[in-house]
Each structure stands twice: as structure tokens, then as C-alpha cells.
Amino acid sequence: MKHSNISIFVPHVGCPHLCAFCDQRTISGEDKAPKADDVRRICTKALSEVGSPENTEIAFFGGSFTAIKRDYMILLLEAANEFVGDGKFRGIRISTRPDYIDDEILSLLRQYNVTAIELGAQSLNDEVLLANERGHLSEDVFYASELIKNFGIELGLQLMVGLYKSDIQKEYDNIEKVISIAPDTVRIYPVVILKGTKLGALYMSGEYKTMPVQTVIDICADMLDAFENAGIRVIKCGLHASEFVERDMVGGYYHPAFRELCEGIRFRHLFEKALDDSDIKRAEIKVSPKDLSKALGQKKCNIDYFKSKGIDIRITPCSDLDEKFRVIRN
């Protein structure tokens, strides 16, 4: 059964730092902190509409939840917890900073049925974290991750690809470091550069030179493949479509169907490895019906790509595959 969230945004109120890339109002489309009654109203409405609440979590996103004032945090948790269990929602999901996690806060969160914690790691390279004014280092991510797992709470990591001072090698190093942490889930957010942020100013001045868009798509495609192979579920790849992001962005890597682009490139990379033979001129590639559109790529770009390499491929659905795909050389 597919998992879903009832998202409640708590913008900025819990953030002790203003990161170089951040404008939570633009990203979330929200600029007002919710009250306990807002949580109850949202949850009451959602409970009447969601078909499988037992597979749904109430999710506090947008800020650093464990860094907000304790009284306010408890008010929100108490309101949400009224809608957990006994035929209601599965639990509560929060996002927060890795440097605002310790044993005491985890004990408190568990009391209120927090079932998943997503850490805004962004990068696991200290040079990148410092340059983007995150206010924490990679060791904080490793430490907080271990604590969360020890408490039996689902761990998620949020990554940003293409940050200021990052490069291709650092991004692939991040993949290996994430796999070593072994979170349950990952969100991949290619950087969107917003006006009014320090990152925006660095970009407009020419100090921040971004990697090519196709390079970032290639990296994210390899992330999808590596994480899936490691048993880590990627629950998001790319920012959700937003009129606020489209209005305020000055650069970066935004596309309303970003994951679809990456999934297509992911299959392209897999096919390239399988077709790594200069004698192959024609092949049929069988894939699961559910993967057909991904394998073809957006607007069948993978067919065109291999044609440009002198290889004529057909990608066809097959419902009884044991492997991810099968190549039949013609």
C-alpha cells in the first residue's frame, strides 16, 4: 500500500540559521506558522478524505521542528497525536536539523508517536556545508542518524545536489556516505537558486558557477539507482511544482517532472552498460510494463540517443521478467 503524508508547514520558526540557499516561504508557499487548532482542522479534514489513514503520517515540514520553542512544539505534537492510532493515522513525521537531535528530544518525540524523522543533511562534505552556511558539519549528520536508528524511529535524509562549492566528485562521495549511514528514505533536491538569498547573490555575481543541468540529472539518476540497490527508498527527487519557485528562481535545476527526467537517464545508463559492445547495431530491450515510460525516456529520448550512437533499439513491455530488463541482440 502506498504511503502518503498530510503535510503541515512550519516555515522558518525553528531555523536557528538562515542558510545561503534558503527561502522557506517560496519553497513551501507558506509564510504563516500553524497553530494547534490549524493542525486539528487539517487532520480532521484529511481523515475524512484519505482512503487508508493507517498508511498515512501527519508530517511537519518546512522548518527545523526540534529547534522551535519547546512549548510550541509540544502544542503541535499534542494536536497531531489526537489523530494517531485506533483507525486514524499511522504516526507523525518531522523534518529537522541534525544538530538539534539528542537522546532527550528523541524520548519526547517518541512519546507523541513520531514515527519518522528526516534530517536536512543537504551534503556530507564539510567544505560545502560551511560555504552554504548550514551551521553544522557532516559529523552531526552521522551522529544524529545513529541516535535516531537506535531509538527505532524511521530515518530519512534530505540531500541537495549542486550546492555552492560542490562538484561531481563530492556528489558521488555523498552517495557512498549516505549508503554507509543506511537511512530508510532519502529525498533528493537539486538546488534551485532563489532571488533574495545569499546563493542568489553569489550566482548573479558570477562567484557561484553551477554545474551543467545534464550533469546534475546524470548524478541524480545514479543516486536513484545506487540508493534503490542499497535498499534505500527515494521518496522525492526534485522540488514539487510551485508557482512560487517558478516566479522567484534565478538559476539552478528545476523542472516540474524532474524525477521523470532522472528515471529516463537512469535507464539510459543501465542500457549503455549492457550495450557496451561496438558490434551491436540493433537490439530489443524488454522491461516491466510499469517501467516502460521510464525506459523510453521523456519524449522517447532514449531511442533517439542510441540512434545517434548508431544503435537501433526497441523497448518493449514484458510482464514476466525476473531482472530489471533483458537485452535481446538482433
> Does 278 share its domain with 170?
no
Residue whose cell numbers read 522557506: 24
Task: Give the span between the Cα atoms of 274 and 130, in whole angstroms.
Answer: 40
Domain count, the chain: 2
Any domain includes 201 = no
Is a pLDDT exceeding 70 seen at residue 26? Answer: no
For position 28, what pLDDT does the model report? 44
Residue with cell 504563516: 32
pLDDT of residue 81: 98
What integer is the mean pLDDT of 49-57? Answer: 91
Residue 58: beta bridge partners? 6, 92
Considering the chain, what is the average pLDDT of its residues? 92
Strand 233-237 versus strand 185-190 pairing type? parallel
At CA 53, angle to CA 52 and CA 57, rounded to 5?
130
pLDDT in tens, 225-281: 999 999 999 999 998 766 667 788 899 999 989 999 999 999 999 999 999 876 788
pLDDT tens track for 161-173: 999 999 999 999 9
Q: Is the pLDDT of residue 292 over 70?
A: yes
Q: Classify residue 180 as exposed, middle or buried by CB count within 10 Å of its CB (0-12, 13-18, 19+).
A: exposed
pLDDT of 6 reads: 95
Q: Which of 160, 180, 200 is the last residue of a domain?
A: 180
Looking at residue 242, its pLDDT comes to 66
Closest CA to 97 of 143, 39, 149, 33: 143
Q: What digits encode the pLDDT tens for the residues 188-239?
A: 999 999 998 999 999 999 999 999 999 999 999 999 999 999 999 999 999 8
* Residue 245 belongs to some domain of the structure: no
Residues 160 and 14 in one domain: yes
pLDDT of 3 higher than 80: no
Please indicate, yes or no, if residue 259 is contained in any of the structural domains. Answer: no
**Residue 27 pLDDT grade (very low, low, confident, very high; cuts 50, 70, 90):** very low
Instruction: Looking at the structure, tell me whether residues 290 and 153 fall in a common domain.
Output: no
- Asked if residue 251 is part of any domain, the answer here is no
Per-residue pLDDT reduced to its tens digit, 84-134 = 999 899 999 999 999 999 999 999 999 999 999 999 999 999 999 999 999
**Grid coordinates standing for 200?**
542568489
pLDDT at 13: 60
d(CA 9, CA 199): 23
Phi-psi region of 201 (alpha: psi -120 to 50; beta: other; left: phi over 0): alpha
Q: Which SS3 state, helix, strand or coil, does residue 171 take?
A: helix
Do 15 and 154 belong together in one domain? yes
Q: Are 280 and 329 in contact (CB under 8 A)?
A: yes
Q: Given 136, 161, 180, which residue is the final one in a domain?
A: 180
Q: How far does CA 164 lie from the centroid of its chain?
A: 18
Q: State the pLDDT at residue 244.
A: 67
Pairwise CA distance, residues 102 & 117, whole Å: 12
The pTM of this model reads 0.90
Structural domain boundaries, residue 292: 272-329
Question: Does 22 score more than 90 pLDDT?
Answer: no
Q: What is the DSSP string of 212-242?
A: PHHHHHHHHHHHHHHHHHTT-EEEEESPPP-
Helix (H) or strand (E) holding 189: strand 185-190
Q: What integer pLDDT is reported at residue 248 of this predicted model?
A: 84
Query: CATH number, domain at 112?
Result: 3.20.20.70
pLDDT score, position 96: 95
d(CA 101, CA 117): 10
Q: List the grid coordinates of 46.
A: 484529511
In angstroms, the CA 91 to CA 197 distance is 34
The length of the chain in residues reads 330
> Is the pLDDT reported for residue 15 higher than 80?
no
